[in-house]
Amino acid sequence: MTKTQKSGKHATQLAHSGRDPAGFHGFVNAPLYRGSTVLYPSYDSLLADDQDYSYGRLGTPTVRALQDALAEMEGGHASLLTPSGLSAITTAIVSFVSSGDHILVSDSVYRPTRRFCDTVLSRLGVTTTYYDPLIGAGISELLTERTKLVFTESPGSQTFEIQDIPAIATAAHAVGAEVMMDNTWATPLYFKPFQHGVDVVVHAATKYLVGHADAMLGVITMSESATAPVVKTHDILGLCPGPEDVYLTLRGLRTLDVRLQRHEETGLALAAWLAERPEVSKVIHPARTDHPGHALWKRDFTGASGLFAIVLKPVPRPALAAMLDGLSLFGMGYSWGGYESLILPFDPRGYRSATVWDAEGPSLRLHAGLEDIEDLKADLEAGFRRLSDTR
């Protein structure tokens, strides 16, 4: 997909995929089904298990509508839903590993992914090696005959490293390992994992797909060959999301294209403005030419979402607190991808093991919301004034 198609095919897909008005008396949207028991009309039918739906946990028309839409958007074979992004990650990983196996995980992954590997997986006898997200084809040296999968996330959580996914996929497939990717930042719109060699994609739909900070949901999308193990594990683990959250995600999906365009535009404008501020040491945004991963981003992605980071020049803690505490539009809190702007201090130094995070001063992650750009700049500008006044 080329950049000029930003609102092309996928805009139409977003409006039409996963819909079946004729199946619902002409209503535009699939209704919100609540339900556990599904009745069978006869003993024969029960024995043959010949219905589209058999039990609430195994899917409803609302769930299938979203799964179909997401599989189509991402270009995968099938999608499954889980109650959170984290459960999508853990379910996808356990679908492929057994005791004695080894996995490779990017040092820049979402921190709870790492915690899962270091606790549950480790206890079950699966070992994890963390690798430098910039390793590219060099991943070959870390692959062993026991390596079952390579987990990627691009850009990396908080620090936004862009990974050479095709190079990693080529090396992994050469030894029969699966390639998994957390594609939450780019969404199915701006990065097409299956065109870059990924076998299993996970999303925190909680972020941009839901888009309004009012639901939690995870998605796993598989290539054809990776579908069976994930379907089986997902079923056995008994994962099913709340129907309301599924409905809200379907609803959020319809406006994803227009929302993301605004998030991207505002994020880039804020990044450019911040780069000129004397208080800022560095802006970390993959769509800016000064980002170390920009060439890869340009090669593989068709857009940027609204999440990026900055590093401030060194400031005393009370000055940073004065800046953050007085913000009126930027909220401080976890998650992102909603309509509102957010700001969050972070410091990965305490838990990364394959790379060194070298920042001159405090690091801040920003989410550019849908507010007016001038209002957002004014909020930050007043924050910088408080920061300077508190020195």
Ligand X SMILES: *Cc1c(COP(=O)(O)O)cnc(C)c1O
User: Is 376 a residue that touches ligand X (CB under 6 A)?
Assistant: no
**Considering the complex, what minimum distance in angstroms separates the CB of residue 208 from ligand X?**
10
User: Is 86 a residue that touches ligand X (CB under 6 A)?
Assistant: yes
User: Is 182 a residue that touches ligand X (CB under 6 A)?
Assistant: yes
Tell me, rounded to whole angstroms, the distance of Cα 329 from its chain centroid.
24
- 57 is annotated as an active-site residue: yes
18: which residues sit within 8 A by CB, 6+ positions away? 30, 64, 65, 66, 67, 68, 69, 70, 72, 250, 253
Q: Does 286 sit behind a cis peptide bond, omega within 30 degrees of 0 on the bond before it?
A: no
Instruction: Please choose, from the candidates 257, 203, 185, 209, the residue with its C-alpha nearest in 3D space to the C-alpha of residue 5.
Output: 257
The two tokens of residue 233 are 């594990």
Q: Applying CB under 6 A, which part among 2-10, 49-57, 203-211, 278-286 lies near ligand X?
A: 203-211
Q: How many residues bind ligand X (CB under 6 A)?
A: 14
User: Is 270 a residue that touches ligand X (CB under 6 A)?
Assistant: no
Pairing of strands 218-222, 178-182: unpaired
User: Is 84 a residue that touches ligand X (CB under 6 A)?
Assistant: yes
**Considering the complex, what minimum distance in angstroms separates the CB of residue 11 from ligand X?**
24
User: Nearest 5°: phi and psi at 360?
Assistant: -65, -40
User: Is 223 a residue that touches ligand X (CB under 6 A)?
Assistant: no
User: Is 158 a residue that touches ligand X (CB under 6 A)?
Assistant: no
What burial letters (b/e) apply to 62-91, b meaning 16+ CB within 10 Å? bbbbbbbbbbbbbebebbbbbbbbbbbbbb
Q: Applying CB under 6 A, which part among 2-10, 53-61, 83-91, 269-277 lies near ligand X?
A: 83-91
**Considering the complex, what minimum distance in angstroms separates the CB of residue 247 from ligand X?**
16
Dihedral class, residue 185 (left if φ above 0, else alpha if ψ from -120 to 50, else beta): alpha
- 247 is annotated as an active-site residue: no
| Residues 325-364 close enough to bind ligand X by CB under 6 A | 335
Selecting among 114, 148, 207, 254, the annotated active-site residue is 207
- 299 is annotated as an active-site residue: no
The two tokens of residue 138 are 């060099």
Site residues (CB under 6 A) for ligand X?
A: 84-86, 110, 153, 157, 182, 184, 204, 206-207, 216, 218, 335
Active site residues: 57, 110, 182, 207
